């Protein structure tokens, strides 16, 4: 038999099946999170967030051409690019498994016989298809994200080291090492995860080159591998560029030459040195030096894809994140300066107090004709530090999150043991092993458990005696949980087969088992230690560990061979091997495919695109729209940059507005949107200048005009600044009481408020600033408010948190998915935070312009989409309530009927159910009694089952915080539904609701 042909044919068949699966299930347009930014940037060759992915963007741009100019198909074809990359990953995984199994089963130099071929191919097929249908890998395979292509780089590199191992004694065998180095360099332009394979590759080389492996030799090989990893990760990626930047500093500031001259000179010298070194190694017959230099040159050549960043940044495209168009901004971009860094070896506790700030390395920025000093990196000094800090962050609500996970009281100080406890409970168990078990044991659901995963978002197996005995089996679960597409049960079978494979490889080839184990560790647990993640992550992070799951899939494949050896004790060889392959396939790939299909099938998902359209369509022409996070920004960029939707709206991300480059870009027009009315000069907000201006209370009682506040904050007059202990003088904020005078004529002429409210226009807007300092973002907002003069509509996306709205809440009017700034009193009921609704604009948008992502027809909604459902219900109910208050009953009825048409029929979570009572009350009030009763009964069924589930859990253990919140939301929803039914004379529904409410209120709060 021609083993090579069979190996190639079956490998390509697995890749075809995987790719077909991904194409059938991939998202037809943009998805949530980074996908929208990547698609927009790839389409027009723009710059994404740090540290960039230029090679990924270049390749995705190639796939975009398959749309042949149809802008609505560009996202589809870029998603197709990820599907193809993922399918090729399966191909190389198959070949990797077959190569490893063949090494064990077939003696070197011999050809495999029939049964051996069957075992080898069966192992490869089961392992490859197990990974193809695994939860984490499938998720990344169907969207335009870097992780699919990064996985392909990992697969190619590991396959290539096995090709080298088989040909290491050939005269040209080392060309595979050069090839690996080149792929490594290319992979930097996709994602850095691929570099973590280097220690495992070093061990393969050591085992192949040594005659007798020793502990010392293995240790030395690992140290060399880690050194090579460090050289690439820091030496090439960062310090090489840093040397080029300081060369440019010398050429520009000392020699008076143009920007970039020093970088070109340094690059020429460095490349020339490598070329000379290669020539020298050939002339002097130094093969090791020659190989090292060729590999170094290949890595740098592959790394050259980052030239795209510099070239395109110079062109200043619409999306130009960090604007890395000179040596030092490029260095800052590569170093992820925007995101900061986490302490690894030594650092503070989350409650440590700042005692001093030491100056770090000098930082430079590009000036008019020379580099200027932009200050120095601050090095904070704390009163308490610890080795190996795991609970270090005091940002956002992280301190509260640490205390919740550790069970610490409000005033209880953490100790070193809490570091280790958080490492074990959260970083290792919650943020790695939970994901591992998702892929190889089963997943409970996709609810993002941010405080405790015992009830939500945990792993399960589906074996009743293990995870369901206390609830009386699978049928005792609420329907919402039992039929949840994200509930996947694998009965430990993938895990068991993988452990069989690990055991088999360890017994038959311990060296290879160590290599795969090292790959598993460095692409999984090592990442946990390096990332040092704080609590309250905005989303699940399992995608970061796909390489580790890839390694375990190799063991799953080998598990087929191990299983066949077990079966051979009772069956003949020719029976045992086919039975093992069939059993392995049914136990893992078939099971994973059938369980995971429904929650990984995104072929009907349009929520991200349609909700982004709703944000834009909520805005009047020529508007300025302030957004805050990824999901209210990236899909909008996609629509504007790719599909050309509402390019007149200037989308301003407040999270990025704290960066000087973002403010500079806003001073320029893009697409159909003019520049923002920003009067600040570039030097007034440059990095290192006015990064943060502190508040010092000067006991000013009256409100101060915002224009005067802005002038004070921007003043270069020493008399307007405070002197600090370090001798520096800085601007400061003397009061939080602001006011802005309103020119009513301008407001009327620019149609800022509806005609029916023009008599309510205020002469002066007064408010209290809600921060203790002013960042560059707030400074820019103030500048816009002062100088816009009501010429352009100003909106805040409804997802922008209160802390980021400058304290302007009393003047923000709802117009759908965005709040418009108007000089009228918009706050209706501060206690429940209800605000005025511009019903004219909201009604027109809801009935005629908004799209709803087919949410009422989707078989499955992901967590982000479910959140949007809850917010959508509020938009419907707020608009209907205002229409009823205005006496426009027909329009209100249209709104609530539209809500029943577009909202999903299925209730997903108690917090979403708690949004429905207001809508039910409105349906009753508007005469839509049948629809209201249907809504009430559907929610009652869901809530009653949910409460019974919580009660069953409470019989065996104390309830978690997640469960307690679920009980509160459920009882609140029942109470509100009951009040609505009673108010509108629905006696039957009222009695049913009240009975359930009373039963569980007594059980949980009086029992």
Residue 289 exposed, middle or buried by CB count within 10 Å (0-12, 13-18, 19+): middle
506 found inside a domain: yes
656 found inside a domain: yes
Among 600, 635, 650, the domain-final residue is: 600
836 in the same domain as 760 = yes
What is the CATH number for 966?
1.25.40
How many other C-beta atoms can be found within 10 angstroms of the C-beta atom of residue 103? 18
The separation between CA 178 and the C-alpha centre of its own chain, rounded to angstroms, equals 33
955 in the same domain as 832 = no
Tens-place pLDDT, residues 249-273: 999 999 989 898 999 999 999 999 9
574 in the same domain as 625 = no
499 in the same domain as 588 = yes
C-beta of residue 154 within 8 angstroms of C-beta of residue 522: no
903 in the same domain as 829 = no
C-beta of residue 727 within 8 angstroms of C-beta of residue 405: no
In this prediction, residue 726 has a pLDDT band, given cuts at 50, 70 and 90, of: low
Strands 834-835 and 827-829: antiparallel
Of 90, 86, 156, nearest in space to 127 by CA? 90
| DSSP 3-state of 796 | strand
167 in the same domain as 227 = yes
C-beta of residue 422 within 8 angstroms of C-beta of residue 451: no
Q: Which domain holds residue 101?
A: 3-309+491-600
Among 575, 600, 625, the domain-final residue is: 600
404 found inside a domain: no
Q: At what angle do helices 493-508 and 546-567 cross, to 10 degrees?
A: 80
502 in the same domain as 634 = no
Among 537, 566, 600, the domain-final residue is: 600
Tens-place pLDDT, residues 673-682: 999 999 999 8
Spatial distance between the Cα atoms of 263 and 910, rounded to a whole number of angstroms = 58
158 in the same domain as 14 = yes
Residue 468 has pLDDT above 70, yes or no: no
> What value does the CA radius of gyration of the chain take, rounded to a whole number of Å?
31
Tens-place pLDDT, residues 682-706: 888 888 888 888 888 888 888 999 9
636 in the same domain as 593 = no
C-beta of residue 876 within 8 angstroms of C-beta of residue 895: yes
pLDDT > 90: percent of the chain: 61
Tens-place pLDDT, residues 346-365: 889 888 888 877 777 788 88
- 775: alpha, beta or left? (left if phi > 0; alpha if psi -120 to 50): beta
How many other C-beta atoms can be found within 10 angstroms of the C-beta atom of residue 682? 13
Q: Which residues pair with 673 in a beta bridge?
A: 670
Spatial distance between the Cα atoms of 554 and 497, rounded to a whole number of angstroms = 11
387 found inside a domain: no
The separation between CA 186 and the C-alpha centre of its own chain, rounded to angstroms, equals 23
984 found inside a domain: yes
pLDDT, the chain, mean? 89
Please tell me whether the overall predicted TM-score, pTM, comes out greater than 0.85 for this model: yes
Tens-place pLDDT, residues 632-648: 899 999 999 999 999 99
97 in the same domain as 135 = yes
824 in the same domain as 909 = no
Spatial distance between the Cα atoms of 445 and 482, rounded to a whole number of angstroms = 10
C-beta of residue 15 within 8 angstroms of C-beta of residue 129: no
359 found inside a domain: no
445 found inside a domain: no
C-beta of residue 634 within 8 angstroms of C-beta of residue 34: yes
Spatial distance between the Cα atoms of 272 and 245, rounded to a whole number of angstroms = 18
pLDDT > 70: percent of the chain: 96
Tens-place pLDDT, residues 195-221: 999 999 999 999 998 888 899 999 999
893 in the same domain as 807 = no
270 found inside a domain: yes
Tens-place pLDDT, residues 405-457: 888 888 889 999 999 999 999 999 999 999 999 999 999 888 876 666 555 77
Structure tokens at 346: 């030594």
Q: What pLDDT was estimated at residue 683?
A: 86
Q: How many domains, in total, are found in the chain?
A: 3
Q: What pLDDT was estimated at residue 461?
A: 85
Residue 473 exposed, middle or buried by CB count within 10 Å (0-12, 13-18, 19+): exposed
């Amino acid at each position: 038999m021609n083993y090579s042909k069979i190996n190639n044919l079956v490998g390509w068949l697995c890749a075809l099946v995987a790719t077909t699966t991904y194409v059938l299930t991939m998202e037809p347009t943009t998805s949530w999170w980074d996908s929208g930014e990547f698609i927009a940037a790839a389409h027009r060759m723009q710059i994404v967030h740090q540290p960039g992915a230029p090679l990924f963007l270049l390749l995705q741009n190639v796939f975009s051409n398959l749309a042949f100019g149809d802008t609505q198909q560009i996202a589809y074809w870029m998603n197709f690019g990820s599907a193809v990359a993922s399918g090729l990953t399966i191909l190389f995984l198959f070949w990797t498994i077959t190569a490893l199994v063949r090494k064990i089963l077939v003696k070197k130099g011999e050809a495999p016989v029939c049964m051996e071929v069957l075992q080898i191919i069966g192992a490869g097929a089961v392992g490859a298809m197990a990974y193809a249908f695994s939860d984490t890998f499938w998720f990344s395979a169907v969207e335009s994200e870097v992780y699919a292509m990064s996985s392909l780089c990992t697969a190619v590199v590991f396959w290539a080291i096995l090709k080298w191992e088989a040909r290491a004694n050939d005269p040209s065998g080392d060309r595979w090492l050069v090839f690996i180095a080149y792929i490594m360099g290319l992979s930097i332009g996709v994602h850095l995860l691929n570099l973590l394979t280097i220690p495992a590759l070093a061990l393969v080389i050591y085992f192949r080159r040594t005659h007798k492996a020793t502990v010392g030799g293995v240790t030395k090989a690992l140290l060399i591998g880690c050194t090579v990893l460090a050289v690439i990760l820091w030496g090439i990626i960062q310090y090489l560029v840093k040397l080029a930047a300081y060369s440019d500093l010398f050429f520009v500031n000392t020699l008076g030459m143009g920007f970039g001259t020093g970088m070109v000179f340094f690059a020429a010298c460095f490349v020339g040195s490598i070329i000379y070194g290669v020539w020298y190694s050939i002339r002097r017959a130094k093969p090791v030096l020659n190989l090292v230099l060729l590999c170094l040159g290949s890595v740098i050549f592959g790394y050259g894809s980052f030239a795209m960043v510099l070239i395109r940044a110079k062109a200043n495209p619409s999306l130009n994140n960090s604007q890395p168009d000179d040596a030092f901004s490029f260095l800052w971009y590569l170093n992820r300066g925007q995101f900061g860094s986490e302490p690894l070896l030594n650092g503070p506790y989350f409650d440590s107090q700042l005692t001093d700030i030491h100056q770090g390395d000098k930082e430079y920025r590009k000036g008019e004709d020379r580099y200027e000093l932009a200050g120095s990196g601050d090095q904070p000094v704390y009163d308490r530090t610890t080795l190996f800090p795991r609970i270090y962050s005091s940002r956002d609500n992280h301190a509260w999150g640490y205390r919740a996970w550790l069970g610490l009281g409000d005033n209880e100080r953490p100790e070193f043991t809490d570091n280790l406890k958080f490492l074990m409970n959260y970083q290792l168990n919650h943020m790695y092993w939970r994901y591992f078990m998702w892929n190889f044991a089963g997943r409970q659901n996709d609810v993002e458990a941010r405080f405790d995963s015992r009830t939500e978002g945990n792993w399960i197996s589906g074996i009743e005696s293990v995870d369901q005995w206390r609830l009386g089996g699978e049928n005792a679960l609420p329907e919402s949980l039992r039929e949840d597409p994200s509930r996947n049960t694998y009965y430990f079978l993938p895990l068991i087969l993988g452990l069989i494979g690990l055991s088999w490889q360890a017994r038959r080839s311990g060296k290879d088992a160590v290599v795969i184990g090292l790959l598993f560790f460095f692409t999984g647990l090592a990442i946990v230690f390096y990332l040092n993640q704080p609590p309250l992550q905005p989303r699940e992070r399992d995608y970061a560990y796909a390489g580790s799951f890839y390694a375990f899939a190799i063991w799953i494949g080998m598990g087929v061979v191990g299983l066949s050896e077990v079966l051979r004790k009772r069956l003949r060889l020719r029976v045992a091997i086919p039975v093992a392959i069939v059993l392995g396939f049914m136990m893992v790939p078939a099971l994973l495919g059938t369980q995971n299909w429904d929650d990984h099938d995104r072929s009907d998902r349009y929520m991200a695109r349609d909700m982004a359209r709703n944000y834009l369509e909520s805005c009047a022409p020529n508007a300025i729209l302030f957004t805050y996070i990824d999901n209210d920004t990236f899909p909008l960029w996609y629509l504007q940059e790719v599909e050309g939707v509402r390019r007149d709206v200037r989308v301003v991300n407040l999270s990025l507005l704290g960066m000087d480059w973002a403010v500079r870009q806003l001073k320029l027009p893009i697409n159909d949107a003019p520049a923002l009315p920003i009067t600040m000069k570039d030097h007034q907000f440059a990095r290192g200048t006015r990064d943060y201006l502190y508040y010092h209370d000067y006991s000013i009682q009256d409100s101060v005009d915002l224009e005067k506040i802005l002038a004070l904050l921007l003043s270069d007059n020493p008399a307007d600044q405070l002197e600090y202990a370090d001798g520096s003088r800085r601007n400061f904020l003397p009061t939080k009481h602001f006011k802005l005078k309103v020119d009513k004529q301008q407001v009327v002429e620019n149609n800022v408020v509806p005609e029916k409210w023009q008599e309510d226009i205020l002469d002066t807007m007064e408010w209290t600033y809600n921060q203790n300092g002013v960042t560059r973002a707030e400074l820019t907002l103030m500048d816009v408010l002062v100088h816009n003069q009501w010429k352009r509509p100003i909106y805040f996306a409804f997802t922008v948190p209160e802390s980021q709205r400058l304290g302007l809440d009393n003047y923000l009017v709802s117009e759908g998915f965005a709040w418009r700034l108007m000089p009228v009193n918009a706050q209706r009921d501060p206690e429940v935070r209800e605000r005025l609704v511009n019903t004219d604009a909201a009604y027109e948008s809801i009935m005629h312009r908004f799209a709803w992502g087919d949410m009422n027809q989707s078989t499955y909604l992901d967590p982000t989409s479910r959140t949007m459902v809850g917010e959508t219900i509020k938009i419907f109910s707020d608009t209907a309530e205002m229409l009823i208050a205005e006496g426009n009953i027909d329009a209100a009825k249209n709104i609530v009927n539209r809500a029943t048409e577009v909202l999903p029929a299925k209730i997903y979570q108690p917090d979403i159910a708690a949004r429905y009572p207001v809508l039910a009350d409105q349906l009753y009030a508007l005469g839509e009694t049948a629809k209201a009763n249907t809504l009430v009964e559907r929610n009652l069924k869901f809530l009653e089952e949910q409460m019974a589930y919580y009660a069953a859990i409470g019989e065996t253990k104390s309830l978690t915080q997640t469960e307690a919140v679920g009980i509160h939301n459920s009882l609140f929803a029942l109470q509100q539904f009951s009040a609505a039914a009673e108010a509108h004379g629905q006696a039957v529904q009222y009695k049913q609701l009240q009975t359930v409410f009373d039963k569980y209120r007594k059980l949980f709060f009086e029992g």
